[in-house]
């Protein structure tokens, strides 16, 4: 019986090509890579004793399981189990899963709007996607989802959990969540919607600084960033610095991250990959021509910044092109290659690791910010009643032409700063840092010429023939 089972299983392995253990040619495209099978040198014979163990288990399940299963089903389950044990990012892709992967990188899909992974058998939120039901409901990076409606997540594969979270627009889903710092699990009811991820958003802060937010690295993200930078800097020559916000960006397509880093660099290495196969070694270089012409750049990251986000942050940090601010990133520094194994099935296999230009591995380490700023709720101390020279009756006017009406402008600016500080202290700090860097870039004032109306400072002033100390 056992011999027959072994013989049948070995025949199946031979037919499917497993005994030859073909190598996989990896064509780097970040979390969406395509590869063709190439024949490699055999890695040696399969261990006979382990094969016997497998066939014993296989035969017992096939003959004794409460429900009859075909050989095809059992072998597919075996493949899924083998992939699941490798790492959180390797997976078996059936036709539906492969289609979902392509949909995610194109930027439109149905569901809640969260990027997830697996941790200890539970679904872990890597980050909510901007302007989606999940973000609006208060889902946070690091949340563990332990139940979807009435179904426990424990025991489900990541693909199965994602399938449960997908659904028609308007249908509700109850998520049971465990969050660090919260004593008990709690529930959130979220209404599904059609998720259209807007990859790039821009706005002008304080009239002089460009804010550039990338929510996810999609196929066209690099081109979008390039066009927006070119247009904005062409139309507004007064821009003094750029804030690149990569917080809660789960990553995406590798080439898009290279293109984004390229927009801020004037040549140099962006990232390289290393793996077991010679085809896993790749280097990505930036081309000459910094689109921002050397403007100061601050990059915001946090623990929801993963993969392609970390590639950009690491490249700009190592090349001395930007100040990285926020908290340590997620640490997803591995390359996944999608390998077709039939017309309708594929595997997503981790084949290499990412390294920053200085040789740092991102995997399980992340990017450490140059300036650590935790996200916090900041409330300014209520100011006391202020009295200034301008409030005194009969005060002298200002020789520089500044009028008291300017105080209204100052009050409006102060109010906007206070609002930004209260709502997003990390962005507030990034803006302040850019302002400081811009001040240092200003040329020194020239010495005043005679008759220019600027008198040199004196230790004392002369009044009515008597010397008086200057206050």
Note the pLDDT of residue 398.
75
Which of these ranges, 62-71, 281-290, 423-432, 443-452, has the smallest mean pLDDT?
Answer: 443-452
Query: Residue range 27-35: average pLDDT?
Result: 42
Catalytic residue, from 97, 280, 307, 329: name it: 307
Which residues on neighbouring strands pair with residue 37, listed in sequence order? 24
SS3 category, 418 = helix
Note the pLDDT of residue 377.
80
Radius of gyration of the chain (CA): 30
Alpha-carbon span 144 to 141, nearest angstrom: 9
Note the pLDDT tens digit of each residue in 410-420.
Answer: 666 666 677 77
Catalytic residue, from 318, 329, 334, 348: name it: 318
Which residues on neighbouring strands pair with residue 361, listed in sequence order? 355
SS3 category, 217 = strand
Alpha-carbon span 301 to 430, nearest angstrom: 11
Alpha-carbon span 372 to 360, nearest angstrom: 19
In this structure, are strands 151-152 and 122-128 parallel, antiparallel, or unpaired? unpaired
Residue 267 DSSP code:
S
Note the pLDDT tens digit of each residue in 119-144.
Answer: 888 899 988 888 889 999 999 988 99
80 among known catalytic residues: no
Cβ(179)–Cβ(188) below 8 Å = no
Alpha-carbon span 372 to 374, nearest angstrom: 7
Which of these ranges, 339-348, 353-362, 446-455, has the smallest mean pLDDT?
Answer: 446-455
Note the pLDDT of residue 338.
85
Which of these ranges, 148-162, 336-350, 443-457, has the smallest mean pLDDT?
Answer: 443-457
Alpha-carbon span 386 to 223, nearest angstrom: 50
Q: Which residues contact 466 (CB under 8 A, 6 or more apart)?
A: none
Note the pLDDT of residue 384.
63
- Return the higher-pLDDT residue of 170 and 389: 170
318 among known catalytic residues: yes
Note the pLDDT of residue 19.
43
Sheet strands (E) in 278-427: 282-286, 297-301, 323-326, 334-340, 346-355, 371-372
Which of these ranges, 310-324, 351-365, 432-446, has the smallest mean pLDDT?
Answer: 432-446
278 among known catalytic residues: no
Residue 32 has pLDDT above 70, yes or no: no
Catalytic residue, from 124, 240, 332, 348: name it: 332
Note the pLDDT of residue 373.
97
Residue 468 has pLDDT above 80, yes or no: no
Note the pLDDT of residue 448.
58
Q: Which residues contact 265 (CB under 8 A, 6 or more apart)?
A: 286, 290, 315, 316, 319, 321
Note the pLDDT tens digit of each residue in 206-239.
Answer: 989 999 999 889 889 999 999 999 999 999 999 9
Which of these ranges, 171-180, 213-222, 268-277, 405-414, has the smallest mean pLDDT?
Answer: 405-414
Query: Residue range 169-191: average pLDDT?
Result: 94
Which of these ranges, 96-100, 156-160, 327-331, 404-408, has the smallest mean pLDDT?
Answer: 404-408
Give all domains of the chain, ordered by start, each with its CATH number: 2-90 (no CATH), 108-196 (2.30.42.10), 200-338+351-372 (3.90.226.10)
Residue 397 has pLDDT above 80, yes or no: no
What element of type H or E holds 241? strand 241-245
- Return the higher-pLDDT residue of 470 and 291: 291
Among candidates 298, 203, 204, which has minimal Cα distance to 247?
298
Alpha-carbon span 471 to 464, nearest angstrom: 17
Apex 344 CA angle, 193 and 98, nearest 5: 35
Which of these ranges, 199-213, 241-255, 441-455, has the smallest mean pLDDT?
Answer: 441-455
């Amino acid at each position: 019986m056992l011999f027959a089972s072994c013989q049948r299983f070995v025949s199946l392995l031979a037919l499917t090509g497993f005994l030859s253990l073909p190598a996989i040619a990896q064509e780097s495209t970040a979390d969406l890579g395509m590869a063709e099978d190439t024949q490699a040198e055999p890695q040696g014979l399969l261990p006979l004793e382990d094969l016997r163990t497998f066939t014993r288990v296989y035969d017992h399940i096939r003959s004794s399981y409460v429900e009859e299963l075909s050989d095809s089903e059992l072998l597919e389950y075996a493949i899924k189990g083998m992939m699941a044990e490798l790492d959180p990012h390797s997976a078996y892709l059936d036709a539906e899963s492969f289609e979902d992967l392509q949909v995610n990188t194109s930027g439109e899909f149905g569901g809640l709007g969260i990027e997830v992974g697996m941790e200890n058998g539970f679904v872990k939120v890597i980050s909510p996607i901007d302007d989606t039901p999940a973000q609006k409901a208060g889902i946070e990076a690091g949340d563990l989802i332990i139940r979807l409606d009435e179904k426990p997540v424990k025991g489900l594969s990541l693909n199965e959990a994602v399938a449960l979270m997908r659904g028609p627009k308007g249908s509700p889903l109850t998520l049971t969540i465990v969050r660090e710092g919260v004593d008990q699990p709690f529930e959130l009811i979220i209404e599904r919607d059609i998720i259209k991820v807007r990859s790039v958003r821009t706005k002008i802060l304080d009239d002089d600084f460009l804010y550039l937010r990338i929510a996810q690295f999609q196929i066209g993200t690099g081109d979008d960033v390039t066009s927006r930078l070119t247009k904005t800097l062409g139309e507004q020559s007064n821009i003094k610095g750029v804030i690149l916000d990569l917080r809660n960006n789960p990553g995406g397509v590798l080439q898009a991250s290279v293109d984004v880093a390229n927009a801020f660099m004037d040549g140099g290495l962006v990232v390289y990959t290393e793996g077991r196969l010679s085809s896993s070694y790749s280097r990505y270089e930036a081309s000459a021509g910094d689109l921002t012409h050397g403007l100061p750049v601050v990059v915001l990251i946090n623990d929801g910044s993963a993969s392609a986000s970390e590639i950009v942050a690491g490249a700009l940090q190592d090349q001395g092109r930007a100040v990285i601010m926020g908290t340590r990133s997620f640490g997803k520094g591995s390359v996944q290659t999608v390998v077709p194994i039939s017309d309708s099935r594929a595997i997503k296999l981790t084949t290499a690791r990412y390294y920053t230009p200085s040789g740092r591995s991102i995997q399980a380490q992340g990017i450490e910010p140059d300036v650590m700023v935790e996200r916090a709720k900041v409330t300014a101390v209520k100011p006391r009643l202020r009295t200034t020279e301008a409030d005194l009756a009969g005060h002298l006017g200002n020789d520089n032409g500044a009028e008291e009406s300017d105080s209204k402008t100052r009050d409006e600016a102060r109010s906007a700063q206070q609002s930004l500080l209260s709502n997003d202290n990390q962005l507030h700090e990034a803006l302040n840092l850019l302002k400081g860097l811009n001040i240092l870039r200003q040329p020194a004032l020239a010495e005043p010429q005679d008759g220019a109306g600027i008198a040199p400072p004196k230790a004392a002033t002369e009044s009515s023939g008597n010397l008086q100390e200057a206050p």
